[in-house]
Amino acid sequence: MVDAAKVKKAYKGRAKRCCCGCSGEYFYNGGYTGGDGPADQQRLERIVRRINKALADPDQPKDQTWNSGDHVAVEVGNRLYIAYFSE
């Protein structure tokens, strides 16, 4: 499970597309406003809840779930959600 308090930024965008922001949006933890986007804690937490729901779902395909250590990504339908952890 992903702890929203440890997430520096979250991403929501179209699956199988570029993640620079042109196919989605980044939301920054209110405590880490040093990023290049607006702090938007509520939307970040909504993305984290969506990620946790997918991680807990036995039907979530394992090849559409990535955990690199510094971020967790899940693809759900045509959506991609990513949580980036603080260092």
Residues found near Zn ion in the complex (CB under 5 A)? 18, 20, 22
Do 4 and 44 meet the contact criterion of CB atoms below 8 Å apart? yes
For residues 5 and 18, which CB has a smaller minimum distance to Zn ion in the complex? 18
For residues 14 and 46, which CB has a smaller minimum distance to Zn ion in the complex? 14
Chain center to CA of 62: 16
CB of 21 to Zn ion, least distance (A): 6
CB of 22 to Zn ion, least distance (A): 3
Neighbours of 26 (CB within 10 A): 22
Q: Is 69 left (phi over 0), alpha (psi -120 to 50) or beta?
A: left
For residues 17 and 49, which CB has a smaller minimum distance to Zn ion in the complex? 17
CB of 78 to Zn ion, least distance (A): 16
